[in-house]
Structure 1
Amino acid sequence: MVDRSAIDNSIERLDSIVDDVFEQADPTKVYGHGLESDDDICPLYCAISRIKTRYEEAELIGRGGMKEVFRVYDAKAARHAALAKPLPEFSRDHFDAFLREAHLTARLDHPNIIDLFDMGVDQEGRPFFTMELKQGRSLRDVVNSLQKGELLDDFPSKRRLEIFRRVCDAIAYAHSRQVLHLDIKPENIFVGEFGEVKVCDWGMGVVMARERGLTESTVLLDPDLYGSLLDFAKGTPVYMAPEQKDKRQTKTPQMDIYAMGCLLHELLTLDVPMGTPKTDAKLDSALAAMIAKATAIDPGDRYQRVEELRDDITRFLEDYSTSVEPTSLRREAALFYRRHREACSITLGMLAIFATFVAYFMIELRLSRHQALEARDRSERAQIAAEDAQVRAEASLAQYLAEKAESEERQNKQIESAIEQSNFVTDSIFLRDKAMPSAIRHALQNLQSILVFDPSPDSKAWLQKFYLHFLMQDFASALKLVENGKVIEPDLVYFAKQYLPLQTEDGYLDTDHFISLMQDLCVGGTYPHHLRRGKLAEKMLIYDSLHRESPADKTRIVREWILINNRDWVGEELVFEAETETVRLRGKGLTRLRRTFGGADRISLVYILKPRVLDLRETGFRDLSDLGGLELQELDLRQTPINDLSPLLANRSLRRIFLDQDQVPESQIARLPDSIEVVLGSE
């Protein structure tokens, strides 16, 4: 007899899984625990079997020479993936050439090579394949940021060499499978947030010269079978070996090795190689020699295997001499010191101590020899010594007073430096999202190390510490400074006392009280003589958003923030759709989306909502520079006074913009990047 209660308990555990993973496949699922259908016995199987369309929510994320790539949701696997299709202009004659990349990638199974999930033919008879959705950023984006002085701490030269070594692993594996990439460049390498390195885009790859025993599927990867079908796929000239530019030349691993040398040159110098890379005087001699060998004009002078280049990189990172640098006693000694820095330092320290003791012993020996002679003169020198002692005492007192004054001046400079550093990290445009709490904690620690000097109660250092606690809504810690007699600006003290009792159990204000605090800081009302503290309110807004999870609460706060900075906003409307990351604004009088008072404008008023789609129709918005910092993919500017698109010229995330007919000159539209689609008209 069936134990119905045990079955019911099993079904309860499965319900949550089915609801979360396959909700879109079975929206009409009737909840209940009666064993009356297959849904009750095998819910996962039934949910998957009902899925008619596997890939949903297609969103264009890239377009290349032969294919376009979409971000899709895989309903059966319950994950997002990248789906590639041939460009619409390509006919059936090109389909095999398109699928060639998928088959080539499928034969490569390596942690540093992008994974292929699926391939097939859609309902329209056009081929497609799906692959791992690349997370993180391309190595080209990293290099561009480094060229601007950004991410220098995140990507020092050692980490860049580690990334390069991962690429070597991937290419070495591909060569072992008889596959050449032939288009190695920063754009085709992605770096994840947790150290992942992925080599992508094997569309130009080839299988090396035919060998006896090749299978039919391997032979089908031979580019000679496709003729002109692959002529449109071209490599990157600055990364191509000289012999690779001759299409008749047999493809060899040395072509990939040449590109690896160019990649290593750009990663270390941040300069795009123009022709054969030249030796950079700033590079370590070993690295310069590796680049020179990898990019030699004659393929026979290059590394013959990628593993040789990777081994040299490994030896360099581990402070051993490489195969390409001339050996010398001085070089080997320097490398030995790097490998055993601590032991060498201890040894040198011991030698220094020993030398000091020897010198001290020799001095004492010499002094003892003169003691007998000095005894005769002591009585005569005693009187002179007494007079000299008085002079020295006066000189010592003067020196003490001077050193004391210098010490006090040094302390004051240290306090001022700590205040300036705190102001910098709290005012910096880079302090957004998760970086902000750590920066504030660092500033508090630095201030605390200076406050041990116990400066005067009216020192700005105490005010700066109060300011940081206030920003984090830690009103209790801020008011302790006031209780200890520190001089703090009255309006901030007033607000801290007013809002301390209103905090919730988690130590933060609820949405209504937080909005009230923003209004008090920016507009005034409860305290008659306070300053308009727009910069402080903006920082509090960003910090507060890191813990406030409700999209509705964030939307209310952003709406009030926009209203504070647009006092003439009439018929105001703000709608945020979290699922589609869409923000829609309406209402007359809305002209700015950046803070309009209290210092330089830096951060968009809707920043904390992280919109991907922004609809500004029927508003008075007039300056696109107010959208700086937003990673928008779609922007609707119809029925707005916008007539200058120049702030969008450097935009890298925007994919579509809606404009009215004749809203902006055609010359401006023509200047926009090709990645931005312009849709004209009211519909």
Structure 2
Amino acid sequence: MNNSAKKDRLDSDSLHRLDQGSEALYDLVMSGNDQDELPSDVLEIMDDEPRYEQKDDIASGGMKKISSAYDKLFRRPVAKAELKNKSRHEVISNFINEARIMARLEHPNIVPVYDLDANEEGAPFFTMKLSGGKNLEEIIELLNNKDPQISEYYTRDRLLEIFLKICDAVAYAHSKGILHLDIKPANIQVDQFGAVLLCDWGLAREMSQEENANLSDSELKYEVEQSLDGKIKGTPGFMAPEQVDPQNQKRSAETDIYGLGALLYNILTLRKPLTGASLDQVINNTLAGLFPSPLELNLTHPVPPGLNAVVMKAMALEAIDRYASAEKLAEDIRNYQQGFATRAQEAGFGTLISLMLKRYKKQFILGSIIFVSFIATILFFLVRLKHEQVLTNEALVLSTESEARLKTAHKQLQSSEAEARQLLFDLQEEKNERLALQQATFPQLRIMISRFQSKDDFKQARILSQLLYNLDPKDNSIILLAAYTSFGALDFSKANTLFSKLKNQEKYQWLIEFSQKYSVQQAPIAELHRLIQQLSRTPNHLRKNLNNNLLYSITQSYPLEDRFELAKKMLHDESLNHSHFDLQLIDGEYHLSLANNKTFGHIKPLHNLPLVSLDLSNTPCVDISPVENTPLKRLILNGSRVVEILKINTKTIQEVDVRNTQVSNVTFLKNSSIETLYLNKHWTDLKPLQSCENLTKLYLKDLLYSPKYIKNLGLNCEIIFY
């Protein structure tokens, strides 16, 4: 682009993008002032050099390619999408439309778009978030190959959680009037921290007011991706029948529901639902709905009937027979996860009873024993009563024969009444015993909930608290416990329902108001920070578990940028507003320094953040357990108050500095990948370091170890005394 064109673009377009402060800056530039008077950051923004530095190719399709790039303006890595070759105007328009559609969809599980522009040759491109990890197709392939690490981590339950996030993303897109039309495992990115993104919206289209209206021939070329035979657009095996049928050009939300069903089939069976020896056969099978149900497959881990029914309903041949929305599909999956029958299953009475028995096995056994005992007692009472009635009738008949026999019968009747009273007394005793058993069970469940919470296993704690609530839904303390665990799990809708049943709601009014506000939308991270600040001013018994539960749930549900921002704010609060939080992203890796912060006491907010370097030197930090599973390569504790290190990620750690600390045990480094180690003035048994094959430099306090001891260790590294 020449200088004249750039100036024209500045004159026409930029004024619409600048706010009032930027307009003043623009006037200063256009008035001809010397550029030396402008700040260096402004000059950098005005630089005519290309904004993006191209790097490696990531993926390539028929029309476009994705590559990694470096955004020099915002100084961050991005993914860059561009057309592979010069294309027709309608292809270019479709490419730009894809970027605009993605930009409209702001959702945690939809890849965000950063920029849309054109290069000097006029070729359009757009940039978006660069996501690491693997796509779901690669994960399923590794599961088929029995990869031990992948198989251990990606259980069926975890794969279902990924599927639910995709359902949420599709439901959100549908609420904005957008269809994806290419849902498949290859378009689902899962990073190493569990974040899930639905990508590649190249086939996406907007729903019209009549969303099932036929497409014109020109639109059809757009909607249907051409393969080798020039007929199909999409991915055979995951496409709905209406996508592969040239005579049926209708697209609706149910089209994406079919894609979700095919995805669920692939997740549950690790196989594609529709296969064939040729593309034509796959298309014919799709049009005829010919594919084996998951239950018909000979799988190592058979698919439960409830999930099988969900798959078959979602992949129904006729769109009207499928789920009405992605929310309804997700709701059925959650029904299965909670032990209930799915709506698609149309379970009979026997199935419902079987599922209920699995959910409440112990309670049902206890209730059955009590019920059988009660029935047996009643039967015994009725038999005895019938017997006494017979005796009474006989006595009346024989009353004329003998006054003595009448008196005898009367005495027998009195004896029977005494026995009946004793029987009623026994029934009351059994009822009291049942209540006593229930009262003895509840404290044990509360103890188990507390134990799970202390171990940060908040999912199990919530399950048990819900079980308590189901057993006794009128106990105010049990309602409060269930409300807390739902609130901590960010299920504000459920928490709001439970809070509304409390007797003394005034005490928890601020929690109730927060639950009501965010019962139907995700709470912004800034609001969660203010909530945690308010929790810090509440009684300790509430703050301890609810605060930790919120941090755990945020780790599972929020993007990495939000989690770093929350950690920064929480440490800032902890340090009485005098802390610094030096976070740097270098070559895609996060390095954090909290050195010389004198007031904060713990690093709980750093739990499960992907840090490779952490500097806690000259801080009052005592406990580093929140980062024990973090993939740290470098840990600096020089001058901190850490006394003992029980566990660290031995697979990634390369450098540890414990100078000027009380740490006197290096057992935590046994069999680790440590390369450089700084020890303090306290004598330490160095034998665990004999297993560290990568150790190259060891810094020891002078005169602390004898030469003989050092020699006998046989360490193959450089030992430096200081």
TM score, norm. by length of structure 2: 0.43
Structure 1 length as normaliser, TM-score? 0.45
